[in-house]
């Protein structure tokens, strides 16, 4: 199978970690008889340096012409980089907002996985961390409180701020369908998080989720109030498979889930539209303090590439091969600096990429 991948290496450690993901993808292509064609593009600070803006229309069109986008980290040191002396609409992160809107990326998928080999890095009690966990939080990305009408004004002599939380049934239905589709590729359980005991938007959310669930009889559905969900994430994260929720709740819960894994360098993410097209990137930042030093952990980006194979290309065997290779490498005690512990073997960014590629079968 031939697939065209738009590659945006980005800034900071981005070029290093994406290079290792491409190395692993090339190994997958070799073993499984595929061809991956890469169209390398600029975005963020790298694009500002060349084009004067963080994202060009040409880059957007070339992304649309690809089967998926693989991206590294965007941005730099906000205190020292000249990029942050520019107006907000010309700074690196403005490119992220624009590309999400231009590609119609409404569903953010963020896996939170605690590998048994890294249980010691988890801040939870050992009785919890020793069981490990593997969940995926799906956050609606383009609606809700963050995109509603807002204003600050004086009312009867008192300064008052108003933010509007709104969702329509179509916005809810499309994220629900995406959540159930993903659950069918995992353990067939969906936990829908809302605040239906208080919010009208959540009551509509729950109604539409229930309607969509009828089309997926194999998937178990549960409804969880957001305050309870936050507690359950630190009490028993292993109970969750796919968690789907609205924009603000997802923003908060996905950050909580990332902390309990112990290292953000292990966390992949994807943003998808209504087709199988997606943009795949690590959850972490550009880490300018270690850029160019071959120290970064590329596992999050490599796992993002595995998500691309699974969700955009329907290559589940190949995605499994990458994930199994990462497990084997961790079993063998190979670590980058951020996950290093006594008795393990410390490797560079490229060394980790080499080890994972060699372990793919």
Q: Based on the fold, state whether residues 127 and 256 are members of the same structural domain.
A: yes
Beta-strand pair 150-155/158-163: antiparallel
167 is catalytic: no
**Using CA atoms, how far apart are residues 40 and 5, in angstroms rounded to an integer?**
8
Q: Based on the fold, state whether residues 104 and 133 are members of the same structural domain.
A: no
Q: Across the chain, what does the average pLDDT equal?
A: 95
280 is catalytic: no
pTM for the model: 0.88
Q: Is pLDDT above 90 for 319?
A: yes
Catalytic residue among 26, 134, 146, 181: 146
Q: Fill in the DSSP letter of residue 72.
A: -
Report the pLDDT value the prediction gives residue 359, as an integer from 0 to 100. Answer: 98
Residue 116 belongs to a domain: no
Residue 118 belongs to a domain: no
Report the pLDDT value the prediction gives residue 258, as an integer from 0 to 100. Answer: 84
Q: State the pLDDT confidence band at 169, using cuts at 50, 70 and 90.
A: very high
Q: Span 237-245, mean pLDDT? A: 97
**Those residues with Cβ within 8 angstroms of residue 48's Cβ, 6 or more apart along the chain or in another chain:** 54, 83, 86, 90, 91, 92
Catalytic residue among 227, 236, 289, 314: 227
Residue 339 belongs to a domain: yes
Q: State the pLDDT confidence band at 130, using cuts at 50, 70 and 90.
A: confident
Q: How many domains does the chain have?
A: 2
Residue 55 belongs to a domain: yes
Q: Among residues 216, 243, 260, which one ends one of the domains?
A: 260
Residue 300 belongs to a domain: yes
11 is catalytic: no
Q: Is pLDDT above 80 for 200?
A: yes
For 154, the domain range is: 123-260
Report the pLDDT value the prediction gives residue 196, as an integer from 0 to 100. Answer: 98
Q: Is pLDDT above 90 for 121?
A: no
Q: Based on the fold, state whether residues 155 and 38 are members of the same structural domain.
A: no
Q: Identify which of 214, 166, 217, 213 has the alpha carbon closest to the alpha carbon of residue 191.
A: 213
Q: Based on the fold, state whether residues 247 and 132 are members of the same structural domain.
A: yes
Secondary structure of residue 337 in the 3-state scheme: helix
Q: Based on the fold, state whether residues 75 and 195 are members of the same structural domain.
A: no
Dihedrals phi, psi of 46, to nearest 5 degrees: -60, -35
**Using CA atoms, how far apart are residues 253 and 248, in angstroms rounded to an integer?**
9
Q: Span 217-221, mean pLDDT? A: 98
Are 281 and 71 in contact, with CB atoms under 8 Å apart?
yes
Q: Among residues 260, 288, 321, which one ends one of the domains?
A: 260
Half-sphere exposure of 28 (CA within 13 A, CB side): 30
Q: Based on the fold, state whether residues 274 and 240 are members of the same structural domain.
A: no
Q: Based on the fold, state whether residues 217 and 235 are members of the same structural domain.
A: yes
Record the tokens describing residue 232, joined without a space.
Answer: 């359950």
**Using CA atoms, how far apart are residues 353 and 24, in angstroms rounded to an integer?**
7
Residue 117 belongs to a domain: no
Record the tokens describing residue 361, joined without a space.
Answer: 């079968």
Q: Identify which of 110, 96, 174 has the alpha carbon closest to the alpha carbon of residue 138.
A: 110
Q: State the pLDDT confidence band at 262, using cuts at 50, 70 and 90.
A: confident
Secondary structure of residue 339 in the 3-state scheme: helix
Can you give the CATH number for the domain in which 30 is found? 3.40.718.10
Catalytic residue among 163, 255, 289, 331: 255
What CA–CA distances, in Å, run from 106 to 22, 120, 182, 301?
26, 35, 15, 20
Report the pLDDT value the prediction gives residue 97, as an integer from 0 to 100. Answer: 84
Q: Based on the fold, state whether residues 71 and 2 are members of the same structural domain.
A: yes
Catalytic residue among 26, 77, 134, 251: 251
Q: Based on the fold, state whether residues 319 and 335 are members of the same structural domain.
A: yes
Please name the residue that has the structure tokens 């690196």: 92
Catalytic residue among 11, 167, 195, 280: 195
255 is catalytic: yes
State pLDDT tens for residues 29-41: 999 999 999 999 9
Q: Among residues 213, 232, 260, which one ends one of the domains?
A: 260
227 is catalytic: yes
Q: State the pLDDT confidence band at 264, using cuts at 50, 70 and 90.
A: confident
What CA–CA distances, in Å, run from 319 to 42, 121, 183, 308, 327?
26, 25, 16, 8, 13
Half-sphere exposure of 81 (CA within 13 A, CB side): 21
Report the pLDDT value the prediction gives residue 189, as an integer from 0 to 100. Answer: 98
Q: Span 196-200, mean pLDDT? A: 98
What CA–CA distances, in Å, run from 95 to 2, 60, 61, 71, 139?
28, 10, 14, 12, 20
Q: What percent of the chain has pLDDT over 70?
A: 100
Q: Is pLDDT above 80 for 88?
A: yes
DSSP annotation string for 278-305: EEEEESS---GGGTTTT-S--HHHHHHH
Q: Based on the fold, state whether residues 83 and 134 are members of the same structural domain.
A: no
Q: Based on the fold, state whether residues 154 and 251 are members of the same structural domain.
A: yes
Q: Based on the fold, state whether residues 250 and 330 are members of the same structural domain.
A: no
């Amino acid at each position: 199978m031939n697939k065209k991948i738009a590659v945006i290496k980005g800034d900071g450690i981005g070029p290093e970690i994406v290079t290792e993901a491409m190395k692993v993808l090339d190994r997958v292509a070799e073993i499984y008889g595929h061809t991956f064609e890469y169209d390398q593009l600029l975005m963020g600070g790298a694009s500002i340096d060349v084009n004067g803006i963080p994202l060009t229309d040409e880059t957007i069109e070339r992304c649309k012409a690809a089967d998926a986008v693989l991206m590294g980290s965007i941005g730099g040191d906000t205190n020292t980089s000249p990029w942050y002396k520019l107006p907000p609409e010309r700074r690196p992160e403005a490119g992220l907002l624009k590309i999400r809107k231009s590609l119609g990326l409404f569903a953010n998928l963020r896996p939170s996985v605690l590998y048994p080999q890294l249980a010691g890095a988890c801040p939870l009690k050992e009785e919890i961390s020793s069981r490990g966990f593997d969940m995926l939080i799906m956050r609606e990305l383009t609606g809700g409180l963050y995109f509603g009408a807002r204003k600050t004004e004086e009312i009867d002599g008192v300064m008052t701020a108003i933010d509007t939380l709104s969702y329509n049934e179509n916005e809810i239905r499309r994220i629900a369908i995406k959540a159930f589709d993903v659950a069918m590729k995992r353990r067939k359980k969906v936990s829908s998080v809302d605040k239906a005991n208080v919010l009208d938007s959540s009551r509509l959310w729950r109604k539409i989720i229930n309607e969509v669930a009828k089309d997926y009889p194999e998937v178990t559905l549960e409804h969880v109030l957001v305050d309870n969900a936050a507690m359950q994430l630190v009490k028993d994260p292993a109970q969750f498979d796919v968690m789907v929720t609205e924009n603000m709740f997802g923003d908060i819960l996905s950050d909580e889930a990332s902390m309990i894994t112990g290292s953000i360098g292990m966390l992949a993410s994807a943003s998808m539209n209504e087709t199988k097209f997606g943009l795949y990137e690590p959850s972490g930042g550009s880490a300018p303090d270690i850029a160019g030093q071959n120290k970064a952990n590329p596992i999050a980006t490599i796992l993002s590439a595995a998500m691309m194979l699974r969700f955009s290309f329907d290559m589940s065997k190949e995605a499994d091969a990458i994930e199994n290779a990462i497990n084997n490498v961790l079993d063998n005690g190979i670590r980058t600096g951020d996950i290093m512990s006594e008795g393990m073997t410390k490797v560079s960014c490229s060394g980790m990429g080499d080890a994972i590629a060699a372990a793919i079968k």
